[in-house]
């Protein structure tokens, strides 16, 4: 980029004198340059090429200007000079990301080095002015511990352990910087999806043990709470009880369930001696 007002002098030579020497200069009309024709003290003229409008290398890297010098003789004679202008690059463009917001989805427990997403920014300048590197900007410790960013390729990879039950979404800022420090940024949102990686676990809320032999059938003898840390169908639970025991089990109705917790009540059904009761927690969705 050249600033307007920059000037280069151009002069032609004519061996004749007086009217027969150089009388004028001209160039084809163009957007960027105009010509100033100036009379020299001792006769003759020279011209100045004046930049009127900024040049943009990203628009046009080279220009050709044909300069014509004419004399005042009869017949009029002229000479031409071709001026090649090469526009040098200035760092006038910051990198631009292909998207302002990148979104990705990733199952929890994805192994280290899994590629989550690749961010990409381009810079219209050339050489070091257009060399883009990437880095996280003000990243939280949680994100920093589990994701890495390749400075050169923009690849975001898993670098730690991802647990949906700890954190189900990450949001981070990534900046792209060119070789001379112009920057721009984008947002990356990573949604973690749940995997069924937690078995149900039980709490005995109440238990009558031992049970008196004259306990009437239908008496409640225990309440068990079952929980599962997973979400939705991965966390829905109900209980079953082994066959051939003098107890029945009642799962709390669905409308009493939270998404990943249920209560079951154990009832005494008929008197008999000593029993060990196994309550088996199973997933509601698969019945396994
Ligand atoms: Ca440039
Ligand atoms: Ca640049
Ligand atoms: Ca899970
Ligand atoms: Ca589960």
Q: Tell me the pLDDT tens digit for each residue of 170-180.
A: 999 999 999 99
Are residues 226 and 253 both part of a single domain? yes
pLDDT digits (tens, 9 = 90+) for 1-33: 444 556 677 777 777 777 777 778 888 888 889
Are residues 26 and 79 both part of a single domain? yes
- Write down the pLDDT at residue 175: 98
CATH at residue 109: 2.60.40.60
Quick one: which ligand is closest to 235's CA?
Answer: 4
227 is a domain residue: yes
- Tell me which of 77 and 120 has the higher pLDDT: 120
2 is a domain residue: no
Are residues 108 and 187 both part of a single domain? yes
Count of all residues that appear for the chain in the document: 288
The number of folded domains in the chain is: 3
What pTM does this model have?
0.74
Are residues 211 and 267 both part of a single domain? yes
Nearest to 221 by CA among 241, 201, 237, 235: 241
End of a domain among 86, 112, 144?
86
Cβ–Cβ < 8 Å for 96, 121? yes
**Percent of the chain scored above 90 by pLDDT?**
41
Are residues 63 and 105 both part of a single domain? no
Residues, CB within 5 angstroms of ligand 1 (ion): 57, 89-90, 92, 125
- Domain membership of residue 119 as a residue range: 96-193
End of a domain among 86, 119, 134?
86
Residues, CB within 5 angstroms of ligand 4 (ion): 196, 198, 228, 230, 234
Cis peptide leading into 173, omega within 30 of 0? no
Question: Which contacts (CB < 8 Å, 24+ apart) does range 59-67 have?
Answer: 60/87, 61/86, 61/87, 62/86, 62/87, 63/30, 63/32, 63/87, 65/27, 65/28, 65/30, 65/33, 66/27, 66/28, 67/10, 67/12, 67/25, 67/26, 67/27, 67/35
Ligand 3 mean position to 194 CA, how many Å?
5
In the predicted structure, residue 288 carries a pLDDT above the cut 60: no
- Write down the pLDDT at residue 191: 98
Are residues 69 and 125 both part of a single domain? no
**Exposure of 82 in the CB half-sphere (CA atoms within 13 A):** 5
Ligand 3 mean position to 237 CA, how many Å?
14
Ligand 1 mean position to 179 CA, how many Å?
12
Cβ–Cβ < 8 Å for 137, 183? no
Ligand 2 mean position to 77 CA, how many Å?
48
Cis peptide leading into 144, omega within 30 of 0? no
| Residue 158 φ/ψ, nearest 5 degrees | -75, 135
163 is a domain residue: yes
Are residues 59 and 23 both part of a single domain? yes
pLDDT digits (tens, 9 = 90+) for 211-242: 777 778 888 888 888 888 999 888 887 777 77
């Amino acid at each position: 980029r050249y600033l307007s007002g920059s000037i280069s002098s151009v002069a032609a030579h004519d061996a004749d004198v007086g009217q027969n020497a150089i009388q004028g200069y001209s160039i084809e009309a163009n957007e960027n340059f105009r010509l100033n024709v100036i009379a020299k003290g001792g006769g003759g003229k020279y011209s100045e090429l004046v930049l009127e409008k900024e040049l943009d290398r990203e628009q046009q890297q080279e220009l050709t200007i044909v300069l014509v010098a004419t004399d005042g003789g009869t017949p009029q004679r002229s000479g031409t000079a071709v001026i090649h202008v090469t526009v040098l690059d200035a760092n006038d463009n910051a990198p631009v990301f292909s998207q302002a917001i990148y979104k990705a989805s990733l199952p929890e427990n994805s192994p280290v080095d899994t590629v989550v997403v690749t961010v990409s920014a381009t810079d219209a300048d050339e050489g070091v002015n257009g060399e883009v590197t990437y880095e996280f900007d003000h990243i939280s410790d949680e994100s920093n511990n589990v994701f890495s960013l390749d400075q050169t390729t923009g690849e975001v990879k898993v670098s730690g352990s991802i647990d949906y039950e700890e954190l189900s979404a990450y949001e981070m800022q990534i900046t792209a910087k060119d070789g001379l420090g112009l920057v721009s940024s984008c947002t990356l949102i990573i949604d973690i999806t749940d995997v069924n990686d937690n078995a149900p676990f039980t709490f005995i809320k109440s238990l009558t043990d031992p049970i008196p032999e004259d306990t009437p059938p239908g008496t409640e003898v225990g309440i068990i709470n079952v929980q599962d840390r997973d979400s939705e169908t991965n966390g829905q639970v109900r209980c079953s009880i082994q066959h051939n025991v003098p107890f029945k089990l009642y799962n709390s109705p669905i409308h009493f369930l939270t998404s990943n917790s249920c209560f079951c009540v154990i009832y005494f059904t008929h008197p008999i001696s000593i029993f060990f009761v196994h309550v088996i927690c199973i997933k509601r969705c698969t019945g396994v």
